[in-house]
């Protein structure tokens, strides 16, 4: 029986550590780098409202499904899907869903580490006063010079990967748990420091109005789809991270309650990031819809002009590094766990191999910004291709098949047992209906839109 399975990797000390770990996995560059700029591009408050609705209708049901699969299997995503398929009398080909998650996490981390390396470089630049007094054009030139220098990018990429693998090698309790116990409280404190500064910019009310006052005339079908996709991706669903973290979750912890808490914490971080960033943007006459360059090419202009800009710029980019670090350790954990389970390797050996392979793959992203920038496939650079493949194909399909397996393949008695909900109760029926019908339909729409069929 599933209740007798135990993870050979250990488990979290308690439910709250799982909440911290899963929140750390969910909170990443997407919350602090991507959410503010896509909110700016899509009109502010109305977009935020649609995003919150998508979190409730798509994100939470799939998160519950992925956690319950992980806890029931108590192994790496690949072995978990194999065991659960056998348990339910279904084809062992369902283990391909686990493989998809592990591979997606590996590919994402390979370029995620390079982007996180930018944040590390900007911690150094901000703390040394490199932004002080620089006009907009020179700030953009600073960024362009950095990405055009493969040696610099390799250095920061290598440093970030080393930070990540040192944590993963130490195991569940001494590595992952110890890291999230420090990183997540620190992240929230740093965010609150930035919000505190934003309150004193003179444009805080303008930032709040932009973020929370809905103008439904600005809602577009494309904006709805972007909100739906971001709600799905921001929770780290479909990449094996939440499934492996669920396998370390204590049996007595409530999957429903913890999933809701994680989704809320992830959303709060995104909103706090918006509350910190938009007042700074408005106070300095910058454009909220500046796109992906909002963090790396626009905010440094503000940090270079404001009183205490070097300090607050440093705090902001340290915050960005912490968010990326807490996500990175969850992205590589499924692959490390599989090697320990199936090859009998130590965590040190598995972490070293996974880290080296990820680092090598990351070189493709490094060179796509400089030496290989003129080489494209289907009009995309190496980085663009990896980003498109993972974000727009692998993750939506992973989330879709997680929903299908949990609601169409597993017996209701199995899912109700793992969720610790009465099968005839309202809570279980609501989850079952959402994950069986609404969520797959919504994810399918996102996927078809992403590949250009809608």
Which pLDDT tens digit goes with each residue over 378-419?
888 898 899 888 877 888 888 899 999 999 999 999 999 999
pLDDT at 430 over 50: yes
Measured at the CA of 297, the angle between CA 233 and CA 52, to 5 degrees, comes to 30
Q: What is the percent of the chain with per-residue pLDDT over 70, rounded to a whole number?
A: 97
Check residues 5 and 360 and name the one with the higher pLDDT.
360
Per-residue pLDDT, 1: 44
pLDDT at 3 over 60: no
Q: For 133-146, b where at least 16 C-beta lie within 10 A, e where not — what string?
A: ebeeeebbebbeeb
Per-residue pLDDT, 4: 61
pLDDT at 368 over 90: yes
Per-residue pLDDT, 454: 66
Closest CA to 47 of 202, 329, 278, 317: 278
Of 20-24, 266-270, 335-339, least confident by mean pLDDT is 20-24
pLDDT at 442 over 90: no
Check which CATH number belongs to the domain holding 50 and give it. 1.10.4160
Check residues 181 and 392 and name the one with the higher pLDDT.
181
Per-residue pLDDT, 228: 78
Say which residue the tokens 């390797």 belong to. 345
pLDDT at 427 over 80: yes
State the average pLDDT over residues 420-437: 92
Cβ(235)–Cβ(30) under 8 Å? no
Distances (CA, A) of 158 to 38, 285, 334: 29, 36, 21
Check residues 191 and 451 and name the one with the higher pLDDT.
191
State the average pLDDT over residues 243-265: 89
- How would you class 352 by CB atoms within 10 Å of its CB: exposed for 0-12, middle for 13-18, buried for 19 or more? middle
Count structural domains, the chain.
1
pLDDT at 190 over 60: yes
Q: What is the percent of the chain with per-residue pLDDT over 90, rounded to a whole number?
A: 38
Structure tokens at 112: 């995620």
Residue 374 pLDDT level (bands cut at 50, 70, 90) = confident
pLDDT at 8 over 60: yes
Range picked from 114-118, 181-185, 280-284 for highest mean pLDDT: 114-118
Per-residue pLDDT, 67: 94
Distances (CA, A) of 448 to 165, 192, 342: 36, 38, 36
State the average pLDDT over residues 362-373: 93
State the average pLDDT over residues 441-449: 80
pLDDT at 274 over 80: yes
pTM: 0.88
Residue 2 pLDDT level (bands cut at 50, 70, 90) = very low
pLDDT tens-place string over residues 153-167: 999 999 999 999 998
State the average pLDDT over residues 320-340: 90
Per-residue pLDDT, 15: 79
The mean of the pLDDT values for the chain is 87
pLDDT at 10 over 80: no
Per-residue pLDDT, 220: 81
pLDDT at 25 over 90: no
Check residues 44 and 103 and name the one with the higher pLDDT.
103
Per-residue pLDDT, 57: 86
pLDDT at 151 over 50: yes
Per-residue pLDDT, 259: 92
pLDDT at 237 over 50: yes
Cβ(210)–Cβ(241) under 8 Å? no
In this structure, what are the phi and psi dihedrals at residue 377, rounded to the nearest 5 degrees?
-130, 125
What is the extent of the structural domain holding 114? 2-450
State the average pLDDT over residues 191-201: 87
């Amino acid at each position: 029986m599933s209740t007798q399975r135990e993870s050979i990797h250990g488990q979290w000390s308690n439910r709250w550590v799982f909440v911290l770990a899963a929140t750390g996995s969910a909170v990443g560059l997407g919350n602090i780098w991507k959410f503010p700029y896509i909110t700016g591009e899509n009109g502010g408050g109305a977009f935020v409202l649609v995003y919150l609705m998508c979190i409730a209708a798509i994100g939470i049901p799939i998160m519950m499904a992925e956690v319950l699969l992980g806890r029931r299997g108590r192994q790496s995503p690949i072995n978990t899907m194999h065991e659960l398929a056998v348990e339910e009398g279904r084809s062992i080909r369902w283990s391909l869903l686990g493989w998809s998650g592990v591979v997606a996490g590996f590919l994402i981390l390979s370029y995620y580490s390079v982007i996180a390396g930018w944040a590390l470089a900007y911690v150094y630049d901000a703390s040394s006063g490199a932004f002080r007094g620089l006009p907009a054009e020179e700030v953009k030139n600073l960024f362009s010079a950095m990405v055009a220098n493969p040696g610099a990018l390799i250095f920061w990429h290598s440093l970030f990967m080393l930070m990540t693998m040192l944590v993963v090698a130490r195991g569940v309790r001494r590595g992952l748990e110890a890291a999230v116990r420090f990183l997540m409280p620190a992240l929230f404190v740093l965010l609150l420091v930035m919000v505190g500064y934003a309150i004193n910019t003179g444009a805080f009310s303008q930032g709040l109005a932009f973020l929370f006052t809905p103008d439904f005339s600005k809602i577009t079908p494309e904006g709805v789809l972007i909100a739906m996709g971001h709600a799905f991706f921001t929770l780290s669903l479909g990449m094996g991270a939440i499934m492996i973290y669920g396998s370390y979750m204590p049996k007595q912890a409530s999957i429903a309650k913890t999933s809701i808490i994680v989704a809320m914490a992830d959303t709060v971080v995104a909103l706090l990031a918006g509350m910190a960033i938009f007042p700074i943007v408005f106070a300095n006459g910058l454009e909220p819809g500046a796109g992906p360059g909002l963090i790396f090419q626009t905010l440094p202009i503000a940090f270079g002009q404001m009183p205490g800009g070097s300090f607050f710029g440093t705090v902001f980019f340290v915050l960005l590094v912490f968010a990326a670090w807490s996500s990175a350790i969850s992205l590589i954990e499924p692959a490390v766990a599989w090697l320990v389970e199936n090859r009998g390797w130590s965590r040190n050996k598995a972490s070293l191999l996974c880290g080296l392979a990820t680092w090598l793959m990351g070189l493709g992203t490094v060179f796509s910004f400089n030496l290989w920038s003129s080489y494209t496939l289907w009009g995309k650079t190496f980085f663009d291709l990896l980003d498109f493949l993972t974000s727009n194909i692998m993750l939506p399909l992973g989330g879709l098949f997680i929903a299908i397996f949990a609601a169409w393949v597993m017996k209701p008695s199995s899912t109700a047992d793992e969720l610790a909900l009465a099968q005839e109760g309202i809570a279980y029926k609501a989850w079952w209906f959402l994950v069986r019908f609404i969520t797959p339909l919504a994810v399918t729409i996102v996927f078809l839109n992403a590949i250009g069929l809608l």
